[in-house]
């Protein structure tokens, strides 16, 4: 089936396109499982970001396989890949590129000079921003335009706006803020991540399987199974998935429920827990992420339309990094996850 068949014009074509998406999703997941043991929810979250044209932030202590997961995904896709190790001395030009002066041959054998843009590692289809919160805020902000606009603007002579390749996916790893040498990401940059996924420790059986795979001298081969054209076609397919008006309204109310009274919000949907512990609620990007992730989950399961449960499952990873909690939440030990779970538990399905 060609990518043109993923633009269905009839119910029969829609069913065929959904079935193809299910099969290809499973193929990518199967390649990842050759290397990554467990972490099923994290893998599904990363794949949701890929197929929803979003970026993903993975948080966890060092050594849990965050970077390995991203490298494995890159190997399972026929996409260009680059890795940037974020350190305190990293500069914005080390990421986006810079303008250089080079010599050029001119008519008559003369040698001249001209400004030329030298692209940085961000000019790849998959960019691994490793330990992103170990760089300074100035360097972190170099990704803002790239993540939102899929372009890079360079000032000065020889500058201009340069488009990034498509599809474009930033997968960043982050160490917990309690660790030494970390800088909190700016709210504007956090908002540009589709999902924030928390990577936990492996179980007893999973750790045993990790040892079997990594200490026995067995080499694992990961094969590329999807092209850039396939991925972009699936991104369009997911956007066209059906969602009933009352279900979309539930997603709207999920996001509005994170807004406490004040800050240009009436707080009509805020729960008592939100009013007490949240300073700033989720942005419209959160609503977009919840709906698109729910559509991806529906199609992955072979369903042509979104359910309320799809929205509930997407809510926590889509909104946990977009809530700004107040000092009282820190004193009480209340997390953004707990606030969102409280909203899900108390928000009625009907208006």
Q: How many C-alpha atoms does 26 have within 13 Å on its Cβ side?
A: 10
pLDDT at 195: 92
Q: Tell me, yes or no, whether 230 and 334 share the same domain.
A: no
Pairing mode of beta strands 278-280, 324-325: antiparallel
The boundaries of the domain holding residue 134 are 1-88+122-150+160-240
Give the predicted TM-score (pTM) of the model.
Answer: 0.86
Q: Tell me, yes or no, whether 269 and 235 share the same domain.
A: no
Q: Is 177 helix (H, G, I), strand (E, B) or coil?
A: coil
pLDDT tens, position by position, 211-270:
877 777 777 788 888 888 999 999 999 998 889 999 999 999 999 999 988 766 667 788
Maximum average pLDDT range among 116-120, 198-202, 340-344: 340-344
Phi-psi category of residue 97: left, alpha or beta, with phi > 0 → left and psi -120 to 50 → alpha: left
CA distance 54 to 95: 19
CA angle 16, 22, 23 (to 5 degrees): 90
Confidence label for 175 from pLDDT (cuts 50, 70 and 90): confident
Which domain CATH number covers 350? 1.10.8.80
Domain boundary among 221, 240, 259: 240
Q: Tell me, yes or no, whether 295 and 223 share the same domain.
A: no
CA distance 124 to 235: 18
Domain boundary among 218, 240, 262: 240
Answer yes or no: is 199 within a domain.
yes
R_g (Cα) of the chain, nearest Å: 22
| Average pLDDT along the chain | 84
The torsion angle over the Cα atoms of residues 286, 287, 288 and 290, rounded to 10 degrees, is: 80
- The residue among 6 and 249 whose pLDDT is bigger is 249
Q: Which of 238, 339, 228, 332 is nearest to 281 (CA)?
A: 339
Total domains present in the chain: 2
pLDDT at 16: 87
Which domain CATH number covers 225? 3.40.50.300
Report which secondary-structure segment, H or E, holds 88: none
Backbone angles phi, psi at 27, to 5 degrees: -65, -45
pLDDT tens, position by position, 82-95:
888 888 888 888 88
Collect all residues with Cβ–Cβ distance below 8 Å to 181 and sequence separation of at least 6: 88, 134
Answer yes or no: is 280 within a domain.
yes
Q: Tell me, yes or no, whether 215 and 278 share the same domain.
A: no
pLDDT at 159: 65
């Amino acid at each position: 089936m060609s990518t043109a068949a993923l633009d269905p014009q009839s119910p029969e074509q829609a069913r065929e396109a959904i079935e193809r998406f299910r099969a290809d999703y499973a193929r990518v997941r199967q390649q990842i499982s050759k290397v990554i043991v467990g972490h099923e929810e994290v893998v599904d979250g990363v794949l949701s970001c890929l197929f929803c044209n979003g970026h993903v932030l993975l948080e966890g202590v060092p050594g849990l396989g965050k970077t390995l997961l991203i490298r494995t995904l890159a190997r399972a896709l026929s996409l260009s890949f680059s890795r940037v190790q974020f350190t305190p001395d990293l500069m914005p030009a080390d990421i986006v590129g810079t303008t250089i002066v080079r010599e050029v041959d001119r008519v008559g054998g003369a040698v001249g000079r001209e400004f030329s843009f030298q692209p940085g590692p961000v000019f790849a289809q998959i960019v691994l921003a490793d330990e992103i919160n170990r760089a300074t805020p100035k360097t972190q902000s170099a990704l803002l335009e790239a993540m939102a606009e899929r372009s890079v603007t360079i000032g000065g002579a020889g500058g201009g706006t340069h488009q990034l390749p498509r599809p474009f996916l930033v997968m960043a790893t982050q160490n917990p803020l309690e660790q030494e040498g970390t800088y909190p990401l700016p709210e504007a940059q956090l908002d540009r991540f589709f999902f924030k996924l928390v990577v936990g420790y492996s179980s007893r059986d999973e750790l045993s399987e990790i040892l079997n795979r990594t200490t026995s001298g067995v080499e694992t081969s990961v094969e590329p199974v999807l092209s850039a054209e396939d991925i972009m076609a699936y991104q369009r397919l997911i956007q066209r998935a059906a969602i009933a008006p009352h279900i979309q309204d539930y997603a709207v109310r999920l996001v509005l429920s994170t807004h406490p009274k004040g800050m240009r919000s009436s707080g009509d949907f805020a729960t008592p827990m939100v009013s007490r512990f949240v300073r700033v609620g989720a942005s419209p990007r959160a609503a977009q992420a919840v709906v698109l992730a729910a559509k991806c989950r529906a199609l992955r399961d072979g369903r042509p339309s979104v359910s309320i449960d799809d929205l509930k499952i997407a809510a926590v990873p889509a909104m946990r990094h977009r809530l700004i909690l107040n000092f009282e939440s820190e004193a009480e030990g209340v997390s953004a996850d707990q606030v969102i779970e409280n909203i899900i538990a108390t928000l009625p399905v009907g208006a």
